[in-house]
Each structure stands twice: as C-alpha cells, then as structure tokens.
Structure 1
C-alpha cells in the first residue's frame, strides 16, 4: 500500500519519461536483446552481473526498480533473471555440484527500508517466485539481515573504502549450514556488498555462495 502511494506521488511530481513507458511495454526478450550484457565482476567467477549499468536502457530499468518499485519493470527484470539463473544453475549443477540453492536478497537496514518503503531486491524475488511454477528456487527473503546502517555505496569511490563501510553490516536470522546460496543484488559497482554478504554466509556455515547482480 505504501509503495503504491509513493509511486503515485512520484508519478504526480515526476511523470514517467517516454523511455520508461517504452521499457514497460518492451518485455523481457526485447530488453535482453537490446541491453548491453556484462559478466564476471573483476574476473571473479563467484560474482556475476548480467547487464552493463553504463547502458542507459539498463540504468533506467534499475532506477525504476530501485527508487520507484515499478512493478512492470520488476516483472521484466525478474523474467531476465529467471532465464539467466536457470541457465547458470544447470551448468553449475553439472560441473560444480551446485544444487538446490537458497535464493537470498541483499537486505536494507531498517532505517533505509523505512525511508524507501520497500526493498527492491525483495520485489524482484517476489516476481521471480511467480515465474517459478516448477519450484526450482527456494527463496528466503529474511535469511540475511542488515544490522548496521551504512553510507550509500555510491558515495564511496574505492573497493577498499566500500568494504570498510560494510564490515560487520550483515548477519543471519537462521542457519544456512551446508546449503548452497545465491545472493541477489540490483547493482554491483565493485562487488563489495556481495563480497561482504558472502563472507557473512560463509561464516554461518553456508556451503557454496554465488553472488549475482542484475547490473555492473
């Protein structure tokens, strides 16, 4: 309800640009065909991004998800994520025994959640769950929690600075002992957030942890 109200206010004071209206009608196949793609972050196979954030099309889609909680864009991006994840998992299950993973979103701090009214990664995974009619994914939206409010990562230039800001920021609400996990974020710049989340889950006993971002 709060998200709908916030979206109404945004639409009233900041009407949607033509590019957003086009995006909402594009569909996942159209978006994936036009968007510039990315891949591993800094050559690390355990951190993967699917799209290039420098692409204006990708940046617009992420902004709509992150700050408006745009349901149509969330559904579009979730379909792209679903296709990419199923392909990634089928390969890793064969070659790395990476099976039956838990899907976990990067959490917001309580303060940031109150300010924004929603967690864009949770919205994305809600849409992903609608597509998962065969129950491939086990989504745990509250397994990873953020216990420390940190400065916006966009204000930190270096990876070292971002890692320092995030140290001790995450905790787990339940044991992931022995489970494979995929951590999902919307944007990864240096990969610091996903790296810190992976460290937290590894310390809690998770087996293998893959960090995935929509864009980099």
Structure 2
C-alpha cells in the first residue's frame, strides 16, 4: 500500500456505504439507484445522479482509494449501457470499431495518486466487452496542471481553466476513428468538451462520451 492510500485509510476509514457497495451486484445497484433522468449533452451519456449517496461513495472509493471491487461494479454498469448505445450508434450513425479513451490525469496528479481512476473503470469495461471496443491509454495526454474543477464557479470558468490542457500523441492513430471518452463524473461537461475538441482537431471522425455520474 502506498503512502497516499495509507494516510487516506487512517484519516478516512472505509464507510458502511462502501462495504455495502462492495457486496452489491450490478442488478442490486440498479434497483437501489435511479438512473439519471436527463442527459447533460447530446453526445454525453451519464448513468447516475452524483448526489445519490451510493453513487457519491462509489466515485470517491474508486477515485481516491483505487477500490478495485467497486471499480468492477461501476465498470460493469458502464459496460452494460455502453453495449446498448454502441449497438444503436452502429446502426444509426455508422459508429463502428471505436476506441475507448479514459480521461487522463496530469503527470503530477498521476504520480501523487499512483493510478488513474478512469483507467481502472476502462479496464473493467474492456474485460466485459472486448469485442466491441478497443482501449488506448497513451494517445490523449493532459499537458498541464489545472485547478480543481470543483473550485471553478461556473461553466465559463471551467472551460477557461481547461483551455488547451489536452493534446494528442501520434494523431495518425485516431485519424478518422470513432472515439468514446470515459470519465467518472461530469459536472458542466467542460473536461469532456475540451478533450473532445482536442481529438476532433487532430482528425478523429466522431467523439462521444460516457460517464458514471453527473
């Protein structure tokens, strides 16, 4: 166990909600948590309301503890929804052979945390539906540290905070490709919007996004 997680476990012991989540199946979670009643943007599919206590705990456990049991649960829920969405888009928009790209962390944040929670989710998704989507974790990069999005007051501030923070390595690998961005949480959609802009500017055919919570 690294120092970050050791300190975290001392200061913030695991809660009863987290233990409850670790024992849940995907079906039980769906029964306990209502699906999100609206979507933040047409090209973003968000699954659950962040304000729900179980959802909030799941996000926190994966983001800060790297909880693999809960990541497996969340990844299963995302994979189920993504399977249906991709099947629909393949027929209606010729959205085929997509790449799955988890939102990257800036290098400093990645070193501090020791893992990227979105990559944990992505690897669970690929484990479940490897025939539907291909994972890549080294094409989209975050080129600069940005202030926490929770400190920005509104969408305009968040967009300004994130402007130019993503770039694409080896653009030829995404030229004319369909891409699914993956994030754990979206609030205003600013992070996903900026990542999408960078990918489209480098030649991606179409970019959509799926998130666990909004």
TM over 0.5: yes
The answer to whether the Cα contact below 8 Å between 1:195 and 1:211 also exists between their aligned partners in 2 is: no
Counterpart check, 1:201 vs 2:174: no
Question: What is the alpha-carbon distance in structure 2 between the residues aligned to residue 135 and residue 97 of structure 1?
Answer: 17
Aligned counterparts of 2:84 and 2:31: Cα–Cα separation in 1: 16
1:40 matched to 2:39: yes
Distance 2:15 2:51 in 1: 19
TM-score normalized with structure 1 length = 0.93
1:113 alignment partner, one of 107, 110, 114: 110
Confirm or deny: 8 A CA contact 2:102 2:122 kept in the other structure. yes
Offset of 1:9 from its aligned partner?
Answer: 4.3
Instruction: Point out the more displaced range, 191-200 or 115-124.
Output: 115-124
Q: Secondary structure at the match of 2:92?
A: helix
Aligned length: 211
Match of 1:14 in 2: 12
8 Å contact kept, 1:37–1:52: yes
Deviations 1:36-61 (A, max 9, x none): 322420xx211221111011111110
1:142-161 aligned within 5 A:
142-161=138-157
SS of the aligned residue for 1:45 comes to coil
2:44 aligned with 1:57, yes or no?
Answer: no
The Cα offsets for residues 121-151 of structure 1, whole Å up to 9 and x where unpaired, read as 011112222223x522100011110001100
The RMSD of aligned alpha carbons is 1.4
For 1:33 and 1:165, the matched residues in 2 are separated by 37
* Local SS of the residue matching 1:11: helix
Structure-1 residue corresponding to 2:166: 170
Report the Cα distance in structure 1 between the residues aligned to 2:11 and 2:50, rounded to whole angstroms: 26
Deviates more, 1:27-36 or 1:81-90: 27-36
Q: Using the alignment, how far apart are the partners of 1:11 and 1:127 within structure 2?
A: 24
1:131 to 120, 125, 128: 128
C-alpha distance in structure 1 between counterparts of 2:159 and 2:66, whole Å: 27
Alignment partner of 2:70 out of 73, 84, 92? 73
The 2-side partners of 1:7 and 1:35 are apart by: 28
Q: Verify: 1:97 aligned to 2:94, yes or no.
A: yes
Consecutive unaligned residues in structure 1, runs of 5 or more: none
Moved over 4 A (4+): none
Quote how far apart the aligned CAs of 1:207 are: 0.3
